[in-house]
Copies of this chain bind each other. A is one copy, B any other.
Amino acid sequence: MLATTIHGPRDIRVEEVPDPTIKRPTDAIVRVVAGCVCGSDLWPYRGENPIQAGATIGHECIGVVEEVGGDVQQFRPGDFVIVPFCHCDNTCAHCEAGVQSACDNLSMTTSGQGELARVGQADGSLVAVDGGAPDAALVPSLLALTDVMPTGWHAAVSAGVAKGGSVVVVGDGAVGLCGVLAASVMGAETIIAMSRHEDRQRLATDFGATHVVAERDRAGAKAVKEITGGVGADAVLECVGTDQSMGTAFAVARPGATVGFVGVPHGVELPVGKMFQKNVALRGGIAPVRRYLPELLELVLDGRIDPGRVFDLTLPLADAPEAYRAMDERRAIKVLLQP
């Protein structure tokens, strides 16, 4: 099959690789209808994560079941499915506690930017879209459900976003924007998006942000403090993963608040003394996508949320290298790839 591979920093290729096959009787193979590039794919792209040269890349896709292993009972070839980026059995103690991202049988999609993808624990992982192939207009929002929307949602859940409360979202990437959308659905009254990019500010506002703060660091914290009447935010969503963004998150949190974090931490040193002094909590991690999928799918199908708007560029799979460049240079928020 044709798939996106990474060979080194900024060396993305689209090439023929062996088709994924059923390795365990609980696996399924999905023919990809739409895949995309994740902000976290930029870490290896920029050389900040180790790279296994020639490995396929891409953990987000939706598509049609092509083949199932002998133990898969809930799905059959032809089903249109959403593939959570982390696969889980949905029956172990951790899944039952709502932490499907720590499943005893965890695995991940590894060729979502390709023509075919293997899904582990298919019965536990996949969610079918009733009625088969959806309207093309729905594809971006369904694709957003594989990672970026549940991850923004997880940030909001972790931060304890509440009806009527105040929320700050640090990070204006696709996840941060989905965090704004989540906070809006959850009924937050004040939603402050920290963003310096006009196109992202606009989308944040469309998604429900009541305020935009373009300043960073101290100036940004000061602006948030003013908006929140000198108190600070009830809940903060950290959607980047750098030491700077984490510092901003703690700076804008009111005493007793929670920082919900979903940006994969890179070089973060947590300010434990400040957390203690201000009783500011930190909660989050890899999103348990499968946990949120039924609820979020319903919101999409009901037309209540449209997270697919984070895709502002669509390219054929063959142009994956350009997709990475566009996101790296911030010319695009998120790029959808069509095999």
Q: Which residues of A contact B (CB under 8 A)?
A: 93-94, 97-99, 101-102, 158, 229, 231, 254-256, 258, 261, 264-265, 268-270, 272-273, 275-286, 288
Measured in the bound complex, the distance between the Cα atoms of B88 and A80 in whole Å is 59
Measured in the bound complex, the distance between the Cα atoms of B268 and A278 in whole Å is 16
Q: Binding site of A, secondary structure by majority: helix, strand, loop or mixed?
A: mixed
Q: Which of A229, A270, A279 has the most CB of B within 10 A?
A: A279
Query: With a CB–CB cut-off of 8 A, which chain B residues contact A158?
Result: 279, 281
Measured in the bound complex, the distance between the Cα atoms of B283 and A270 in whole Å is 13
Query: With a CB–CB cut-off of 8 A, which chain B residues contact A275?
Result: 282, 285
For A288, give its contact among B229, B264, B279, B283 (CB under 8 Å).
Answer: B279
Query: With a CB–CB cut-off of 8 A, which chain B residues contact A261?
Result: 276
Chain B's closest residue to A274 (CB) is B285
Measured in the bound complex, the distance between the Cα atoms of B174 and A243 in whole Å is 35
Given A255-B94, A272-B265, A281–B278 Cβ distance below 8 Å?
Answer: no
Query: With a CB–CB cut-off of 8 A, which chain B residues contact A269?
Result: 269, 272
Q: Which of A158, A265, A275 has the most CB of B within 10 A?
A: A275
Query: With a CB–CB cut-off of 8 A, which chain B residues contact A277?
Result: 102, 285-286
Query: With a CB–CB cut-off of 8 A, which chain B residues contact A281?
Result: 158, 258, 281-284
| A272 x B273 contact (CB < 8 A) | no
Given A268-B272, A272-B268, A256–B286 Cβ distance below 8 Å?
Answer: no
Query: With a CB–CB cut-off of 8 A, which chain B residues contact A265?
Result: 272-273, 276
| A258 x B283 contact (CB < 8 A) | yes
| B284 x A254 contact (CB < 8 A) | no
- 9 shortest interchain CB distances as A-B pairs: A102-B255, A281-B283, A279-B285, A99-B256, A270-B270, A99-B255, A276-B285, A265-B272, A93-B231
For A99, give its contact among B94, B102, B279, B285 (CB under 8 Å).
Answer: B279
Query: With a CB–CB cut-off of 8 A, which chain B residues contact A102?
Result: 255-256, 277-279
